[in-house]
Structure 1
């Protein structure tokens, strides 16, 4: 920990050579809930004080609302500051980067939790919570805890003085490099993100509206470079970063599809717009504020996107039924492409098109973590192609039924 005289900030960094035995790496400040009862920016969704546990030991029912510390999460790319606060004081965790954490730009983890006895302010450096990467060793940070009597502090905090402190694992900006370039080809109605990672570090940035980008200051090394449309991968490449220099590297890609018969949703790697997606980050699927999960029927051309559920649970809201009308020139062989964002315990979709039953797909990688019930929707994002033989689709009305072959999965679905 580092403090400066007269400065209301505690600067910290954590160096590890192996994962702690508890299986996760985190900093927790347990603070007085009488002075600091509130959580920001998402409010009471993670205040579990006085609640009754309804799932494990981390999802509670409080005054008729489901709450969990997991509902305080924010995507890493958007999480520069989170706070707990009272009428006169505020304490904020300010994060310059997640370079030695794991999971990429869209990973999320616990940020705060008022459990009654204390209000906890977290920085999760890594955990097994819907984790898609191996843990990284080395220096995590700097990260800064800011104590304020005058509102929400700026995220613009200079920690370059760490270079003068002989801290193991710290790499000064002068010993880093950057990558600049232009991304192109993806749908401009979505945010574009460029992401770099290797075994030692990870970085990311949004592009400008024109696609131009410059990375954060990166440790030297060779990186996989990924280009996202929303959260959907449209291109990958490789780039080498050298100390003290800027490398130019452009990247281009787009969603590849055939001639579309119908499409439900967008290829953005998120369940945005599907039923209950707007609430799922901040409440349990059983919450009374959720809309009815179904089973639902979606009719192409007349149904709203909210008529399709963002999650399918075995024996709860299966099957999902899709009805569509085909013309005579659409009755040939086709592919039903199903994009998912997350699975649990091997869950994956099995499709029936009219009287044709598609084969059961291979099981996805098991993340061994609850997701949808704890405000997460992003895993490996498996895409499943179902080959539909010629003559299966008929002129006129057709019916598709989607079943979870095992357990729940989440859909960002486009059927083509």
Structure 2
């Protein structure tokens, strides 16, 4: 069975077109009452538009944000801050430009900034992380309990039953909730938050150039229960991570306050950064110090799929969607350097090459011909589509916002899949060693097809506990156990993400083991690791399977 996501994109996210217009619109308004005071313990900043916030002198915590007379900050006696709080820090305040108040927090090698602009109900945040000497993987805005709804997949009740690692819960009806179930990839959203009748509070994400994981990573965005709620911006999200941590300046990311609508001012700084140039932030590079890539097109596309072009090196990452009609793309705001450019069909890398970007210039690329799409190979049979995701398989529609054990999920066992009769929706999106071992495929070969060695390909999206497929053909021949692919060491499949390092296993089946007529294939999840048992046992997500 399948079920719809409880999240309404209309409720949670505003239109991308409206946001793009807003980001491109410079803010010039000033407001009476704008400025700051010192109450002896905090710097108190008044935006002059309805938002007053406080930053602690001693540790840089955001200890209060009062919007139109209502305090929204804090739960459990805790403030909003980097990680779980920096502790003793050097905190200073200044007005580096007209209509801007800037608070600087220095803690060891880490520098964190809060900025306010006159007439805006936004708190702009920037975090410079130089190394790992300071634990700083996130910023959390803590929100008071009882204000915002707890009806989303990433919110829960304190009375719900813990079913995994103290952060996945089951309700009485067997449906599941977790802070991990935001159900959005980074490329899918510009801001995320909570909305109530009196106010909405949003985190507008940064451009993520110093984050890791690329455009398709799914991060913890919020949580909520009767004890309070939280909104997050991650500087480095370790859950299911595929890349090393990057260092430098993250931001601006923004805590934005509205009366229920989506953010409507130029809050992100991704398109309107001129005002930031004057602030003197450590690690900041303005528009004049950046370049762009202009691609003339992609040849060999399958136009039934979306394409994305990503560029990344050890210091930064960027991406852009490819125009579905023309195949053209522009990746903007890139720091100078040499990058690996990757073309993704869906989420599957189908082309890579190196490209160099220069400040203040455009690097133009001629039409790229895609040659790395496995779907271009002629197959005797194929289950699923080569796109880097389990889309179309059984339960694939819900795994990003529910635990695999959720009562709304169909059985993970699937009987025998019959080539030519069964549809992709009968094949499970995931295979778990202790849940659905021994998946079966029945297929027919002609005498000519059975007379030659055949290659079976199994594409996975990620794996848990070194899980990888081992095959048996016609109950007589079992493949060698392949080496485990390099995949994230943390949970993914049970916390809302199928994403890892897409890998394809290939098995050469000797002709002597094939039959003219009906053949059977058995697939087992194998590993030298025990994993955590059940849905945490060695496992992997499927991309596609085919026989060449």
TM above 0.5, yes or no, is: yes
Once superposed, what is the RMSD of the aligned Cα atoms?
1.6
Q: Give the TM-score normalised by structure 1.
A: 0.95
Which of 332, 335, 347 is matched with 1:231 structurally?
Answer: 347
Q: 1:298 to 1:360 in 2, by over 3 A?
A: same
Deviations 1:119-141 (A, max 9, x none): 10111121210111000000011
Residues 19 and 135 of structure 1 are in contact (CA less than 8 Å); yes or no, is this contact kept in structure 2? no
Is 1:48 aligned with 2:148? Answer: no
Deviations 1:46-96 (A, max 9, x none): 112212211011111234321100001421111211111112211111124
1:33 is displaced (CA, Å) by: 3.1
Number of aligned residues: 411
1:305 is displaced (CA, Å) by: 1.2
Deviations 1:95-131 (A, max 9, x none): 2411000011111110010032111011112121011
Who is 2:319 aligned against? 204
1:5 is displaced (CA, Å) by: 2.3
Residues 469 and 524 of structure 2 are in contact (CA less than 8 Å); yes or no, is this contact kept in structure 1? yes
Residues 295 and 318 of structure 1 are in contact (CA less than 8 Å); yes or no, is this contact kept in structure 2? no
Is 1:412 aligned with 2:543? Answer: yes
1:155 is displaced (CA, Å) by: 7.9
Residues 36 and 89 of structure 1 are in contact (CA less than 8 Å); yes or no, is this contact kept in structure 2? no
Which of 101, 104, 110 is matched with 2:220 structurally?
Answer: 110
Consecutive aligned runs of 4 or more in structure 1 exceeding 6 Å deviation: none
SS at match of 2:115: coil
1:315 is displaced (CA, Å) by: 2.6
Which of 3, 6, 15 is matched with 2:128 structurally?
Answer: 15
Which of 153, 156, 159 is matched with 2:263 structurally?
Answer: 153
Q: Distance in 2 between matches of 1:53 and 1:204?
A: 37
Deviations 1:2-36 (A, max 9, x none): 111221111111001113655x5111111123222
Who is 1:339 aligned against? 459
Is 1:360 aligned with 2:481? Answer: yes
Deviations 1:194-241 (A, max 9, x none): 000011100001100111000021000110000011111110001110
1:258 is displaced (CA, Å) by: 3.9
Residues 388 and 461 of structure 2 are in contact (CA less than 8 Å); yes or no, is this contact kept in structure 1? yes
Q: Distance in 1 between matches of 2:237 and 2:519?
A: 45
Q: 1:311 to 1:158 in 2, by over 3 A?
A: closer
Q: Distance in 2 between matches of 1:304 and 1:343?
A: 24
Q: Give the structure, 1 or 2, with the largest relative contact order (CA under 8 Å, sep 6 or more).
A: 1
Matches within 5 A, 1:2-81: 2-19=115-132, 22=135, 25-37=137-149, 44-50=152-158, 51-64=160-173, 65-81=175-191
SS at match of 1:339: strand
Residues 414 and 427 of structure 2 are in contact (CA less than 8 Å); yes or no, is this contact kept in structure 1? no
Q: Distance in 2 between matches of 1:154 and 1:253?
A: 39
Gaps of 5+ in 2: 1-113, 528-537
Q: 1:91 to 1:378 in 2, by over 3 A?
A: same
Residues 211 and 317 of structure 2 are in contact (CA less than 8 Å); yes or no, is this contact kept in structure 1? yes
